[in-house]
Amino acid sequence: MRLWRVLRAALALCAAAGAAWWLLADTVRKYAPAAGDQPLRVSFWGIYEEFEMWGHMLDDFRRKNVGLEVRAEYMPGGRYEQKVKQLLVADEAADVILYQDEPFWMLVDHGKFEDLTGWIERNWGPGASSREALHRRFFATAVDSFGRWEGRGAGRRWHQYGLPIWGGPNLLYCNRKCFARAGVIVGPTPDGSGLWKSPDGKRWIVDDDNWTIDQWVEVLRRLTIPGRPGQPPEQFGYNLGWWLYWLPFHYTLGAGYLDERREHTVFCTPEVLRSLKLQQDLVYRYHVCPAASELTMGQSVGFLGGRLAILNSGPWEMPFCNAAELDYDLLHIPRRSPGGFRATRITWDAVAMYRGSKKKDLAWRLMDHLVTPESQRTVTRVQRDLPSLRSEAGTFVTANPKVHTIKFVEAAEQYAVMQPITIHWEAMARVFARAVQNVLLEDPARRLTPEEAVGMVYDDNDTDAMKLMTVLPPLDANEAAKYREIYLRSGKTR
Amino acid sequence: MTPRQNTIGYLFAAPWLVGLLGFTLFPIVVSLLLSFCQWSGINLEFYRPGRKVAPDEEGKYIRWVGTANYRRALGGLADGAKEDFRPPRRSASGAGAARADVPPDKNVWTALKNTAYYSFLAVPLGLCVALATAMLLNQQLRGIGLFRTVFYMPHILGGVATIMMWMWVFNPTYGLFNAMLRAAARAPQQLGLLGASWQPPDWLYGQTWSKPALVIMSLWGTGAAMLIFLAALQNVPEQLYEAARVDGAGRWRQFRHVTLPQITPALFFNLVMGIIGSFQVFDTAYIMTGGEGGVNKSLLFYVLYIYQKAFHDFEFGYASALAWVLFAVILAFTLLLVRSSRWWVYYEGERR
């Protein structure tokens, strides 16, 4: 009897030990080693090609630093930003973190990223952290996206919080098959203008370096091929897509979202009205862009499948087009007037150093490695992003001779504009996106006019708009009030 | 039971107890505490009273704000309800909502209104469909098992793939639903009963028909309720029907006076579960609207709004308060149903 009791107790103990091992062993294995024994960690997201690209860059780093263990923490799929934030809260974030420009400053303001200015000075030489010096090394917008002026008077100096590693501007992708179908060719025009039409009207030539927005609209109308009676067009010229992808045209038309200091909204100017009106016209007047329900497969699929002749996107679209062996090329954003102003959106990703990292020297070593010409050449091979290092722009261009990728470099150097990023990005994006969505509503009875949509942005009866007005008030309060009144009197308030 | 037996019992229950304490009770307590705080979800640093902090720095700390989150939510509920039932004269000269120390969040009212609309339409309709299907499947037919499986399958197949399928069904231009409506409208149009410019609804792409679309879609997944009804129907004693028939009751009277009273416990259970489930609707709206809440917030359901506040706006304290408000709403409805059950739910063998 006694033996049976002992046996039972031993069995229970074994079961408990087994369960404890099953539950906790991995955690203990992970946390028991001292900080020095932990590998250097780097977190990133991206498509499979980027995962491979990171693999190459980290292998190079390991070869240069024999014995140093580096752990890549790949977070595929969406909500990378949230996953990183959760790790930051738990003080479990990686030592080096890849981050996008839009949400970057919120984390800097919360003290989560290390100021890299000192590291740059110590490792790249005195004066290397100045804005001018960094502009010589990287694309200017890439530097400005992750750095800022701090201090006053004589103590005012540039502080860099992230090392940009890649990114790129939005340009127009053209599906050559769709262009050929509509009789449109891209190339120099006989008269040097942006658009040339043959006398019989059968052949149009577009010089995308000189074309204007009006000519672009004309071309879109030509590119749009009608469908069967009562059916949507077989081929659309363009798709409006995400509100931020309209930014190139919005800026080119002289419209804005925020003032230069990024403290006020400027969404109630005549240029903004023109920008909204053009979007509405493209869908409902000319019907060269699909309404939301007419292109449900997503614009990338529409472009690859030949339903969209022109796609607005950045270099990140190229791997898909290349993989599909699509016959495509790139076009510049049209100008406001002949020889006039043009602009496009540019976005960058950077690596930042987690302030709570226990291996800051090694983290810097890795970050430094990621912006070496060798690593940046790995970036250019994948053709998903423009390298942030100016010196490697050439290798990016030569990596894909079939496509005029030089236009990405030209746009980045000549006319790309930084996004209207503030720490109130979410609030701002929600309100602006909603205004655009209402200008493009499919129900004509509920669709807003541009004036009403502007008024909607400044409707203080709406919680989101009120919040935006609190954190980013309108620069011209009288104009905002004027449009608000138009919106409130429209009878279409939401 | 000896203390030793008690200990062994607790030991066996320990894994579950650890789970309950660590993964259920602890988050509940933390969310309750958080609902009285302001927290961006990024720093775990507490705000120390007396510390001078710039207004734009406040969000960096966990800060006790008392009932401010609840006042913001409930103030928004009250303001939104007031405006809906007695619309004020909206003017650009003055601010729309009265400025309080905590600005009311009228999105709470919008979200709750959307959820209630969905709930009060989807649950009764779902129960009717489930009961009707269960009665059909309660017939003694050859191959009835196959039919039962087929009707129950959508419940198992739920998820993203089903939602994507429904998005196509409701597409205004290419969708199955509107193709059928257009075909059905052709004859009335030719007869002049329907205008030539008539267009079928824009479903998910507008704000009027988006919620009805989701209600229709919800009927697809009534398999679980149907199964419970089916079990209840099979438990109705045959002699009650025989007695009713002897008394001259037709089919409707048999259903009204025999079937329905006998299955009220199942009806009650399905109703309570349906209400609770429908108030927590999230995945459908999240996938169909990309998490944005649809055209002009028409699909901004309450749980989706909680998600937006927590994971888009990083207002974890406020999101926790919203969750507790939802808990109170669901609790109130459930209690109401439980209290009302004594008048309409019949339990066999129960003393009345």
Q: Quick: pLDDT tens for A246-283.
A: 999 999 999 999 999 899 999 999 999 999 999 999 99
CB contact under 8 A, B296 and A88: no
What is the structure's pLDDT at B86? 65
Q: Is residue B141 assigned to a domain?
A: yes
Pairing of strands A96-100, A40-44: parallel
C-alpha–C-alpha distance, residues B83 and B97, integer Å = 10
Residue B131 lies in a domain: yes
Q: Give the whole-angstrom CA distance, residue A83 versus residue A195.
A: 48
Tell me how far apart the alpha carbons of residues A47 and A315 are, in angstroms, rounded to a whole number.
13
Do B91 and A292 make contact, defined as CB atoms within 8 angstroms?
no
Is B283 within a domain? yes
C-alpha–C-alpha distance, residues A242 and B286, integer Å: 17
Q: What is the pLDDT of residues B183-228, one digit of tens each?
A: 999 888 888 888 877 888 989 988 889 999 999 999 998 999 999 9
CA angle B322, B324, B327 (to 5 degrees): 115
Within B191-263, residue ranges assigned H as helices are 210-219, 223-234, 238-246, 251-254, 260-262
Interatomic CA distance for residues A83 and A90, integer angstroms: 11
Question: pLDDT per residue over B264-316, tens digit each?
Answer: 999 999 999 999 999 999 999 999 988 889 988 999 999 999 999 998 888 99
Does residue B89 register a pLDDT over 60? Answer: no
**pLDDT score at A258:** 94
Residue B87 lies in a domain: no
B296 Cα to chain A: minimum distance (Å) = 7
> Which residues of chain A are within 8 Å of residue B295 when distances are taken between CB atoms?
437, 441
Distance from the Cα of B212 to chain A's closest Cα (Å) equals 16
Instruction: Tell me which chain A residues have a C-beta less than 8 angstroms from the C-beta of B99.
Output: none
- Closest residue on chain A to B59 (Cα): A110
Whole-angstrom Cα distance, residue A276 to residue A450?
6
- Predicted local distance difference test score (pLDDT) of residue B317: 94
At B197 the pLDDT is 79
Q: What is the CATH number of the domain that holds B304?
A: 1.10.3720.10
* Inter-chain contacts counted by CB atoms under 8 A, chains A and B: 98
Between CA B79 and CA B95 the distance in angstroms is: 13
Of A12, A85, A446, the CB nearest to B41: A85
Using an 8 Å Cβ cutoff, are B110 and B322 in contact?
no
Cα separation values, B84 from A489, B80, B106, B116, Å: 17, 6, 11, 14
**Per-residue pLDDT, A425:** 87
Query: Residue A481 is nearest to which of B83, B92, B103, comparing CB atoms?
Result: B92
What the block records as the tokens of B244 is 């009713």
Tens of pLDDT, residue by residue over B100-157, are 567 889 999 999 999 999 999 999 999 999 999 999 999 888 889 999 999 999 888 8
Please indicate whether, in this complex, the C-beta atoms of B314 and A461 are within 8 angstroms of each other. Answer: no
The DSSP secondary-structure symbol of A474 reads: B
Candidates A65, A87, A5, A52; CA nearest to A355 is: A87
What is the CB neighbour count within 10 angstroms for residue B265?
17
| Lookup result for tokens 């928004």 | B76
Beta bridge partners of A206: A186, A195
**Among A282, A276, A307, A281, CA closest to A294:** A307
Residue A256's Cβ-side half-sphere holds a number of Cα atoms within 13 Å equal to: 16
Strand A204-206 to A195-197 pairing: antiparallel
Calpha distance A443→A454 (Å, rounded)? 19
In this structure, what token pair is assigned to residue B313? 């706006």
Backbone phi, psi, residue A413, to 5°:
-80, -40
Is A463 close to B295, i.e. CB distance below 8 A? no
Task: Of B229, B59, B301, B205, give the one whose Cα is nearest residue A446.
Answer: B205
Neighbours of B53 (CB within 10 A): 13
Residues with Cβ < 8 Å from A46, sequence gap 6 or more? A53, A54, A74, A76, A384
Q: Touching check for A250 and chain B: CB below 8 Å?
A: no
- Measured at the CA of B121, the angle between CA B199 and CA B256, to 5 degrees, comes to 120
**Inside any domain, residue B239:** yes
Q: What is the domain range of residue B295?
A: 109-154+207-352
Furthest C-alpha separation in chain A = 109
pLDDT of residue B94: 42
DSSP for A355-407, please give it.
Answer: TT-S-HHHHHHHHHHHTSHHHHHHHHHHTSSEESBGGGHHHHHHT-TTTTTHH
* Beta pairing partners, A43: A73, A97
**B35-83 pLDDT per residue, tens:** 999 988 877 778 777 766 665 566 678 889 999 999 999 998 888 888 7
pTM given for the model: 0.85
Q: How far apart are CA A477 and CA A312, in angstroms?
A: 33
CA distance B283 to B294: 13
The predicted structure's pLDDT at residue A36: 63
Nearest to B103 among A19, A107, A466 (CB): A466
Residue B115 lies in a domain: yes
Q: What stretches in chain A show pLDDT beneath 70?
A: 30-31, 33-36
Q: Which of residues 54-83 of A touch B (CB under 8 A)?
A: 79, 82
- Is the confidence at residue B92, as pLDDT, over 60? no
Instruction: Sort out which chain A residues have CB atoms less than 8 A from B91's CB and list them.
Output: 485, 488
Residues B49 and A175: their CA atoms lie apart, in Å, by 61
Mean pLDDT of B154-170: 88
For A135, the token pair is 């502009």
pLDDT of residue B59: 67
Looking at residue A19, its pLDDT comes to: 86
Assess if residue B86 is contained within a domain. no
CA dist., res. A293 & res. B205, Å (int): 7
d(CA A102, CA A105): 7
- Cross-chain CB nearest to B97 (options A111, A461, A493): A461
What DSSP line would sit under A106-160, residue for residue? HHHHTT-B---HHHHHHHH-TTTTSHHHHHHHB-HHHHHHSEEEESSGGG-EEEE
Q: Which amino acid is at B327?
A: F
**The predicted structure's pLDDT at residue A312:** 97
Name residue A3's amino acid.
L
Taking CA–CA distances from B18, the nearest residue in chain A reads A23
- Report yes or no on B257 lying in a domain: yes
Cα separation, B44 vs B35, in Å, equals: 15
Quote the CA–CA distance of A102 and A86 in Å, as a whole number.
18
Is any Cβ of chain A less than 8 angstroms from the Cβ of B168?
yes
Q: Using an 8 Å Cβ cutoff, are A461 and A487 in contact?
A: no
| Residue B161 clears pLDDT 50, i.e. is over it | yes
pLDDT of residue B349: 66
Q: Are the beta carbons of A182 and A223 closer than 8 angstroms?
A: yes
Q: Do A293 and B173 touch (CB under 8 A)?
A: yes
Contacts of B171 in chain A (CB under 8 A): 293, 296
- β-pair type (A70-74, A40-44): parallel
Q: What secondary structure letter does DSSP report for B92?
A: S
Helix (H) or strand (E) holding A328: strand A328-331
Number of domains in chain B: 1
List, in sequence order, the alpha helices (H) in A32-99.
48-64, 80-89
Give the helix/strand (H/E) hosting B106: none
What pLDDT, on the 0 to 100 scale, is given for residue A443?
87
Q: Are A206 and A186 in contact (CB under 8 A)?
A: yes
Query: What is the distance, to the nearest Å, from the Cα of residue A86 to the centroid of all Cα atoms in its chain?
Result: 22
